[in-house]
Amino acid sequence: ASRVVQRVPKPAATLLYTTSVRMKSCLIHPTVAYLREELIAGRTTSRALVEQALARIADPLGEGPRAYMKVYADLARAEADASDALRAAGVVRSPVEGLPVSVKDLFDVGGDVTLAGSKALASEPPATRDAPAVARLRAAGAVILGRTSMVEFAFGGIGTNPHFGTPANPHDRGTGRIPGGSSSGAAVAVADG
């Protein structure tokens, strides 16, 4: 037996309140879709988004130093400037064009040693090229901010790392709650802004 759900129109005041809350939420914790729309409308630039993200990573009150294993500040700025130049010329390679992203320390980034959250791999040679997922992100115009921390060898679900530190859950820094997941740095980076 199927059930038909009838939508009842919301009063105008409720719609205005809901829209207002959603807009405020996007300003505090913007979504990828919101940032993309801001880029399309010309209300922001990739460089501005990257500078905001780098400032959050460097903020001593945030979790950036524990969420990121390595930050590619200069390269991210250069990639953002290139993306902005392409957009100004009318070229947009994909929906993620110009958006800052992070890469889990489990994926190869050409020229860097992939540690997978472990000191045991520190003496390994650097990756000769980007992992396919990273290469696709770059080709699509995403701007790589850095490599995020993770559980050693992605073997665990609580988000701790005894070698490089554990980023605190941004929603409860005071008690130092764990972030959860093997991608702890990525999750905290998103939640921390």
Concatenate the DSSP letters of all residues of 165-192 into one string: --PPPGGGGGGT----STTHHHHHHHHH
Q: Which residue has the higher pLDDT, 178 or 45?
A: 45
Calculate the dihedral angle through the C-alpha atoms of 178, 181, 186, 188, rounding to the nearest 10 degrees: -20
* Dist CA 132 CA 128 (whole Å): 12
State the pTM of this model: 0.83
Buried b (16+ CB within 10 A) or exposed e, 82-107: ebbebbeeeebeeebbbbbbbbbbbb
Is a pLDDT exceeding 90 seen at residue 52? yes
Give the pLDDT confidence score for residue 128 in this predicted structure: 98
User: How confident is the model over 119-157, as pLDDT tens digits?
Assistant: 999 999 999 999 999 999 999 999 999 999 999 999 888
Question: How much is the pLDDT for 42?
Answer: 95
* 165, two tokens: 């530190």
Q: Looking at residue 159, what is its pLDDT?
A: 86
Residue 27 pLDDT level (bands cut at 50, 70, 90):
low
Q: Is the pLDDT of residue 192 over 70?
A: yes
